[in-house]
Amino acid sequence: MSSTIAPAAGPPASDLPAAIATRLWQSAKNFEAMALGALLKPIFDTVDTSRGPFGGGNGEAAWKPMLVSEIAKEIAAHGGLGLARPVFAQMLRLQEAHQPQPRTTPEAP
């Protein structure tokens, strides 16, 4: 059975080596997942679990942050809010600005 949400496209093109661009893209997606987790946390904190089938408790409270984090990662992996692309673009600009420029030697007369 296929997912109804298509995974997000890969990183935009870059002049950086593929390994660096891939790491930057993963960092941008991780940042988006963290931001989504921060947005989802208050939603899960306001749910009254005491009336549910498991009754809440310390065990449920201990696992809830991990649940929120995993839900946020899944949302980010399937497109999220669109934060990863602009974050990646900014990371690329900063990384490319710090790349050593090729030296040009003055031509002999």
Instruction: Kindly state whether residue 1 falls inside one of the protein's structural domains.
Output: no
* Residue 53, domain member (yes or no): yes
Q: List the alpha helices (DSSP H) in the chain.
A: 18-45, 58-77, 84-97
How many angstroms separate the CA atoms of 50 and 30, rounded?
32
The model's pLDDT over 66-98, given as tens digits with 9 standing for 90+, comes to 999 999 999 998 888 888 889 999 998 888 777
Q: Is the pTM of this model over 0.85?
A: no
Closest alpha carbon to 71 in 43, 26, 33: 33
- Does residue 41 register a pLDDT over 80? yes
Q: Residues 58-62: what's their mean pLDDT?
A: 81
Residue 107 is assigned to a structural domain of this protein? no
Residue 106 is assigned to a structural domain of this protein: no
Packing angle of the helix pair 18-45, 58-77 (nearest 10 deg): 140
